[in-house]
Copies of this chain bind each other. A is one copy, B any other.
Amino acid sequence: MIEPSPPGTKERMLDAAERLFAERGFAATSLRAITAAAGVNLAAVNYHFHSKEALLAAVFARRLGPLNRQRLELLAQARSRAGRRSPPLEEILEAFLAPAFRLHRDLAPAGPGFPSLMGRIYAEPGEHIRVILREQFGEIAARFTEALKEALPKLPPAELYWRIHFMIGAMAHTLAGSRALGLVAGGRCDPPDVEGTIRRLVVFLAAGLRAPAARRTRRSRTR
């Protein structure tokens, strides 16, 4: 569905890198492990890509291009449905969140590699990763921040920025498919239910974003 043709060397390496980076983290994954999993020679990684870092960048570029295009398209659809008003907050959130989560399903045979990697990447240090994030998310962040501002005109901008930060945290952690869920739920949640996850996250985030801004005055700290 995504790529029906038999994968060549380059694609097999991207697939393997995507999966192993997601499973073990960037620094902990060796090029040897990747080339072995892909069934290609070790030297191929330096022929097709330049370096390990460039391989990571290629992994991201391959998915995030289409993914971000889909996000913007869903946002545009929501805008055209809304006419001159702001689209409903829920539709903005869904346009942002759903494409990432649906990769879980659409890439099912290849495993949950990329979404999990995308969820983790926000937490990984390293300069190259910062660069990848800025390049891939800059426009998306600007467009959705603008849409959220219109949908929440009464929220002070600083408050909105914080809440977007919280939102990204919730999204990333959920995408990462973290073990932490098992800590608390004992297996009672259902990770494969992608649409349910999106819906739950949208409901949660919409309510959080709509909350009245915190007032300055609360009881003084005792500690």
Contacts and interface: CB of A to CB of B under 8 A. Distances in A.
Contacts of A178: 122-123, 165, 168-169
A199 interface: yes
A203 B199 contact: no
Question: Chain copies in the assembly?
Answer: 2
B123 A123 contact: yes
A140 B155 CA distance: 33
B27 A159 contact: no
B161 A181 contact: yes
A173 B174 contact: no
Contacts of A130: 179
A157 interface: yes
A181 B165 contact: yes
Most chain B beta-carbon neighbours within 10 Å: one of A122, A162, A199, A209: A162
A210 interface: yes
Contacts of A120: 123-125
Interface in A24-81: 24-25, 27-28
Contacts of A119: 123
A163 interface: yes
Interface in A95-151: 102, 119-120, 122-126, 130, 133-134, 137-138, 141, 145
Given A25-B125, A102-B223, A123-B173, 9 more contacts: A24-B125, A25-B126, A123-B176, A130-B179, A137-B183, A169-B169, A170-B170, A204-B211, A207-B210
Please list the 4 inter-chain residue pairs (A to B) with the smallest Cβ-Cβ separation, ordered nearest first.
Answer: A169-B173, A207-B211, A123-B123, A161-B185
12 contacts: A137-B180, A158-B185, A159-B200, A164-B184, A165-B173, A165-B184, A166-B205, A169-B169, A169-B178, A172-B173, A207-B208, A207-B211
